[in-house]
Structure 1
């Protein structure tokens, strides 16, 4: 019987109750410590959020009260000055005298507060001017960099506007306009404007044609663009009614019997091989007329040439002012962040902590 009990006892694992109790206590203590740390972290987070919320609420209250005071003060001042000006003047004089007397009393009693206030005011003004100068320098540098970038990216389209003087000694009158070649792969749009008298000859002329030749320096024709045109037709009754309605300004000279024709010619693309040096504008003669005839009567003529930039270049040119402002502000903010992060002492003055060092030294001496 004793042997059986020994076997059964030897088969079991013996556990020290004191050791197991201490392990359980340590686990409970660790869990309690972790829980207390979590509570402290949550409490600090809540207190931080509460303080931030309080600051935000106080700032909003201050802004609202300041706004109400700015709104109420002018009306109150105008009302009091209109209905009781002498009392308002007396109040203002009394307020100023009381402030001056308080400052004089402080100066007579003790000069240190006044000198300290003056010193702080002078330091504040100096650092305000210093920070303003630094910010102004950063802004000027941002504007200069943005201007250089926009001037490099934005290409101005070519615009040529010239009056045309036709040579009527030839069968087909010609006019020449000097032309500065634009960038390659840029299309050009030409507008020829002609002012014609509303004469019977022009009405009976009908169709005529205008040709524009692109010439090189050697006189070679690089390209030609043609456009037929005619005076807009109006029947006799309509013309008589319009003349009757305009009889007063016509007699006074405010309105003239003229017609303006605007011809738009497109399709020419500048090439890199041979550049354009001159434009030749020709009023071509009608084939059915004898030499020198079939040419419209013209008061005045002018030419407007505009180059069409590519899509992205056109967007940059049209939005160059907006891009200049946005790039300038982005560069200014970037420079300000760089200065605040890496060169903080340049814009924010460093203060020497003279008050804390003696206390630290005293504590170290006491500990020693």
Structure 2
């Protein structure tokens, strides 16, 4: 009864052969791990050294090629520089011509816009011819195509203008005119429908000069008078009308000579002229006085607007070389990427080959360890179930540890 428990405990104790196998397995694992670590370190150093060597060789080859190609690069760079200068000059001339054309167009548009808001004052100076066949000689000036006024004077005085009518008479200093003395000048504004808008009347006479003054003046100016450089005349200017134009519009100005009461004698005239001058309203007068400033600023604003439109919608007209240069740069970048592509691909393939080699070597090592552990398991019948389970657990732990080591080594590479 007492012998059986001792026999069972004796069977549970590990045998020397098991201890020896485990010791050999431990020593082999330590030796194997050391070899793997050294091999991995040496392999990594070798890969780094080979990569450095390849890079050094590539740098050396590129430096040698650059040194050999220095003369050709200088000539090529000079040609490229001259081409860039030439194309830059052409581009500058093109931009200059476009900007000048836009500036001229902006000036025309700006001046046209100011002219739409600008009104010129009316200035008329025309000779009148009195009809002495009438009892009261009359002369008439009409606005319209028949008048000798210029511009808007032919169309009449614009509405809102205030215009002044003056009469200039050139009279000889004759005894007849001096005896007549005072006579009357009448002026009337006739509307387009034939009605008199306004009427005015002013007395007129020669300037008085006594006999001694006349004799002295004749003595002093004797030579010019004999040579025809001066004449014995007087010029009389009379302001007749001052009115603001409205509706109905003015069609004509009628002037007549009326003798003094109690007489029928009319003055002698060399020449008679009518002067018509209009004044603008204050707003239009302001625009007229500052028209050159408005020309400049309006043209400048229009020029800026045209430039904004040109840069926003018609950029290719101003810079025709931009799109071509951009396409060339993109094409050069694509060529450079394609030339660098094979080098990057070769480097990646080299790294993938090293990783694949290490992975296969780790898998073969795991298989060898699994075979060794299976041989170390006792095949005797008296071995207990607990011993079998422990052995299997150790085997699985060793396999998992090796797999983890292999993954860490692969990821490190």
TM-score range, shorter chain: 0.5 to 0.7
| Equivalence map 1:8-157=2 (5 Å) | 112=76, 115-157=79-121
Aligned to 2:268, the other structure's residue is in SS state coil
Which structure has the bigger radius of gyration?
Answer: 2
CA distance in 2, matches of 1:249, 1:357: 97
CA contact (8 A) 2:187 2:241 kept: no
| Equivalence map 1:288-307=2 (5 Å) | 288-289=262-263, 291=264, 293=265, 295-307=266-278
2:290 aligned partner:
319
CA distance in 2, matches of 1:225, 1:232: 22
Report how far residue 214 of structure 1 moved.
1.1
2:191 aligned partner:
216
Match of 1:164 among 128, 136, 146: 128
CA contact (8 A) 1:195 1:259 kept: yes
CA contact (8 A) 1:181 1:270 kept: no
Report how far residue 221 of structure 1 moved.
1.4
| Equivalence map 1:193-272=2 (5 Å) | 193-272=168-247
1:303-361 CA-partner distances (Å, limit 9, x unpaired): 12122210121222233233212321333244335655776665355353567788899
CA distance in 2, matches of 1:253, 1:109: 91
CA distance in 1, matches of 2:131, 2:179: 23
Aligned to 1:128, the other structure's residue is in SS state helix
1:173 aligned partner:
137
CA distance in 1, matches of 2:84, 2:287: 50
CA distance in 1, matches of 2:202, 2:183: 9
**Does 1:186 find its partner at 2:161?**
yes
* Gap runs ≥5 in structure 2: 1-71, 144-154, 349-413
1:142-182 CA-partner distances (Å, limit 9, x unpaired): 11221221221001223332211100011211001112432
Aligned to 2:250, the other structure's residue is in SS state coil
* Gap runs ≥5 in structure 1: 1-107
1:165-222 CA-partner distances (Å, limit 9, x unpaired): 1000112110011124322232111121111101122223322221211113453212
CA distance in 1, matches of 2:188, 2:241: 12
CA distance in 1, matches of 2:292, 2:102: 20
CA contact (8 A) 2:185 2:257 kept: yes
CA contact (8 A) 1:216 1:275 kept: yes
Match of 1:280 among 254, 274, 278: 254
Moved beyond 4 Å, runs of 4+: 108-111, 337-346, 353-363
Report how far residue 301 of structure 1 moved.
0.8
CA contact (8 A) 2:183 2:259 kept: yes
Report how far residue 112 of structure 1 moved.
3.6
CA distance in 1, matches of 2:193, 2:306: 54
Aligned to 1:175, the other structure's residue is in SS state strand
CA contact (8 A) 1:161 1:304 kept: yes
1:10 aligned partner:
none
Flag the 1:278–1:270 CA change in 2: closer, same or farther, 3 A. Answer: same
Flag the 1:211–1:109 CA change in 2: closer, same or farther, 3 A. Answer: same
1:115-149 CA-partner distances (Å, limit 9, x unpaired): 43542343123212210222022212211221221
CA distance in 2, matches of 1:265, 1:113: 86
CA distance in 1, matches of 2:278, 2:103: 35
The aligned length equals 256
